[in-house]
Structure 1
Amino acid sequence: MTNLKIGGVPEHFNYPWYITLKNKEYSKHNINLRWQDYPGGTGQMCKALRDGSVDIAIVLTEGIIKDIADGNPSKIVQTFVQTPLIWGIHVGAKSKFKTIDDLENATIAISRFGSGSHLMAIVNAYNQGWDIAKLKFKVIKDLQGGIDALTNGEADYFMWEHFTTKPLVDNGTFRRIDNCPTPWPCFVIAVRNEVLENNFEEVKKVLEIINAETKDFKKLNNIDKTLAKRYEQQLEDIQKWLQITEWNDGNPITKNLIGRIQNKMVQFNVLEEKKNSGDFIKNMYI
């Protein structure tokens, strides 16, 4: 039995993994795949890939590209969700800020540096024409940290996935001022280089299993009701999310796509320079 550790955020995007694990799909192929939740998001998972506490991670595209550029010994093996992620821009319920323009000099809550909440705050600032060098950040670790920081005034606004935070908007914890979609496919699957060298065939089998599950995921009986109940969402919100979300169809990630994303990240001052796109990816289907 090959032991592999996999991690991702405890959000609706990753429910297909839960199904395949519950059905023991991997153990049928002599793979003991163990799931670990990472509520701290992509920055937390990049650290886990670096220190070997996770082997495979479902991470935000921008976060892992930046971390591989900075030396993370991992490769992207495919996209997981190929549609953009919709980031909600939130303030506390009692905040004085009303519009996106009000936030130009405000303090931003981020889970950690290099995380999606950090990098997308830079993308948003670039979109608004703000001076990125003047952005102020407060590290809050995770969603609960964001709630605390906005409630007690330690930070002014916080960017997190629109539908995950929708219940907090509905119950009056947050006010959503605007949305900011990622200008690229949102989630990719990254694997440590050492694991790719030693367990290439097992990783390939894991990808085949999850791709087969996501292919017809939206057609599963009552999947909208299941997700709404599990993730404490309104049914209409989950239905809307399902409509705009497409998983990967098993196609390999291309150097061209990585190049285009790098170009944008350099433009946004997230990356200092563009690197060889082949250094970021491993084609599993040669």
Structure 2
Amino acid sequence: MASTRPLRVGFVPEHFSTPIHFAKKHFGLDAELIPFPSGTGHMITALRSSEIDVGIGLTEGWIAGLGKAQEESKSGDKDGGYRLVGTYVETPLCWAISTGATRPEIKTVDSLQRSRIGVSRIGSGSYVMGYVLADERGWILPTAGIGGSIEQSSPFSDTVVLHTFEKLRQAVNSGEADFFMWEYFTSKRYYDKGEIRKVGEIYTPWSSWKIVASTSLVQQQQGDDVDDKLDPRVDDLLDRLNQGIKHFNENLEEAVQYISTELDYSEEDAREWLKTVRFPKRTQGVDPKVVVSTIELLCKAGVLEVGKGIDANAMIAQKR
């Protein structure tokens, strides 16, 4: 008999979470919403330790986490603790590149090569995008490894794990880290306050947010072309999110009011963000092409390794 316990859903308490709030407020979403201000990497840990059942987070973080699990598997098990079940945001994410307000020596993005990058966690979006930036800038160079093998040099002198956005901001001002990357509109209010300074920005080359579910909620079916069966509570969650997104699209003033009063963004920034974001009409399913292209870029950036048995199909429970 299927469980009737409400799902524990991890999410990032930023402006992107507004349709989740609407699904709960207006459409009876029966779930315990658990905020993870530290981001996708923390949700991966929580999923694997059974602290949450579902996570709504960044595409690159989810895929990097699954790819690493597949690379490290000794038994050929491609579980990873969770599977991709849905798409939450269609548009790319703009990552702002930030340093301390009193770091005049850091003038341009190119001055960050071989510097200390601050990240929330290893494998998080802030970590992954550092390597995407490095690949785009040509900072990842081949070096000779053991036995004549070719390895990739690190583009940074150090990777400083700081867990939260607040600690990242503190670190670039104290000198513990030189720069970090975080979503632009979340960073902007701290530019406006003069707490941190923007050095540049970079967009993800993929749709930016996906929904994952613990493998305990996924009943695998035989065949790559057959969608796996989801726990009915996950199906219901996706349906309620669809309703929350529809309400969001039809009630933008309510969205602005919520974002600017409950989530600590200015009304001006909330309105500007609305011009940049597009949610799907149906959250159900993930486009395999998006997963494959993300894996390819993560391999190119050195986050994942080519030839280590990474299987895009094994990451996806529900395809579009």
Is this a same-fold pair by TM over 0.5? yes
Corresponding residue to 1:258 among 287, 291, 298: 291
Cross-structure match for 1:225: 257
1:175-208 CA-partner distances (Å, limit 9, x unpaired):
1011111110111000001022396222111101
Q: Distance in 1 between matches of 2:136 and 2:91?
A: 19
> SS of 1:34's equivalent?
strand
Unaligned runs of 5+ in 2: 70-79, 141-152, 220-228
1:169 offset after TM fit, Å?
0.4
Cross-structure match for 1:74: 82
Cross-structure match for 1:41: 39
Corresponding residue to 1:175 among 173, 187, 197: 197
For residue 272 of structure 1, what is the amino acid of its counterpart? E
1:214 offset after TM fit, Å?
0.8
More helix by share: 1
Q: Distance in 1 between matches of 2:97 and 2:241?
A: 31
For residue 116 of structure 2, what is the amino acid of its counterpart? T
Q: Distance in 1 between matches of 2:311 and 2:107?
A: 42
Cross-structure match for 2:8: 5
1:151 offset after TM fit, Å?
1.6
2:313 corresponds to 1:278: yes
Q: Distance in 2 between matches of 1:62 and 1:44?
A: 14
For residue 241 of structure 1, what is the amino acid of its counterpart? W
> SS of 1:70's equivalent?
helix
Cross-structure match for 1:29: none
Q: Distance in 1 between matches of 2:126 and 2:252?
A: 33
2:93 corresponds to 1:85: yes
Q: Is the 8 A contact 1:218 1:242 kept in 2?
A: no
2:257 corresponds to 1:249: no
Aligned counterparts, 1:76-225, within 5 A: 76-95=84-103, 96-131=105-140, 133-135=154-156, 136-197=158-219, 200-220=231-251, 222=253, 223-225=255-257
Deviates more, 1:140-149 or 1:129-138: 129-138
**What count of residue pairs does the alignment treat as equivalent?**
280
For residue 217 of structure 2, what is the amino acid of its counterpart? V
Aligned counterparts, 1:53-72, within 5 A: 53-71=51-69, 72=80
For residue 36 of structure 1, what is the amino acid of its counterpart? I
For residue 193 of structure 2, what is the amino acid of its counterpart? N
Cross-structure match for 2:17: 14
Cross-structure match for 1:267: 300
For residue 64 of structure 1, what is the amino acid of its counterpart? W
Q: Distance in 1 between matches of 2:181 and 2:274?
A: 21
Task: Rate the CA distance shift 1:221–1:79 in 2: closer, same or farther, 3 A.
Answer: closer
1:70 offset after TM fit, Å?
2.6
Q: Is the 8 A contact 2:19 2:247 kept in 1?
A: no
1:233 offset after TM fit, Å?
1.9
Q: For the aligned residues, what is the CA RMSD? A: 1.8
For residue 83 of structure 1, what is the amino acid of its counterpart? T
1:216-273 CA-partner distances (Å, limit 9, x unpaired):
4133151223312222222222112111101122152122221122111111111113
Q: Is the 8 A contact 1:78 1:189 kept in 2?
A: yes
Identity in percent:
30
Q: Distance in 2 between matches of 1:283 and 1:22?
A: 27
For residue 134 of structure 2, what is the amino acid of its counterpart? A
1:275 offset after TM fit, Å?
2.3
Q: Distance in 2 between matches of 1:142 and 1:179?
A: 20
